[in-house]
Amino acid sequence: MKEKEIVEMTAEERREFEAYRLEKEKKRKEEDRKAQRLQYGEMVDKEVAEAMVDLMAVSNAMAAVKNGIYRTFETILDLKRELMGLSIDAQRSHTFTTSDGKYRLTLGVNTIDGYRDTVEDGIAMVRKYIEGLAKDEQTRALVNAVLRLLSRDQNGTIKASRVLQLRKMADDSGDDRFIEGVRIIEESYQPAITKRYIRAEYRNKLGAWVYVPLSMTDADAQIIANDNKTDGNDGE
Asked whether the predicted pLDDT for residue 234 surpasses 50, the reply is no
- Quote the CA–CA distance of 82 and 94 in Å, as a whole number: 15
Residue type, 88: I
Contact 162, 147 (CB under 8 A): no
Nearest to 111 by CA among 96, 90, 95: 90
- Local confidence band at 17 (pLDDT 50, 70, 90 cut-offs): confident
Spatial neighbors of 204 by CB under 8 A, at least 6 apart, are 210
pLDDT digits (tens, 9 = 90+) for 111-145: 888 888 888 899 898 888 888 887 777 677 778 87
Average pLDDT over residues 58-86: 85
- Predicted TM-score (pTM) above 0.75: no
A 10 A CB-CB count for 69 gives 14
156: left (phi over 0), alpha (psi -120 to 50) or beta: left
User: What pLDDT sits at residue 85?
Assistant: 67
Asked whether the predicted pLDDT for residue 91 surpasses 80, the reply is no
Pick the more confident residue, 221 or 35: 35
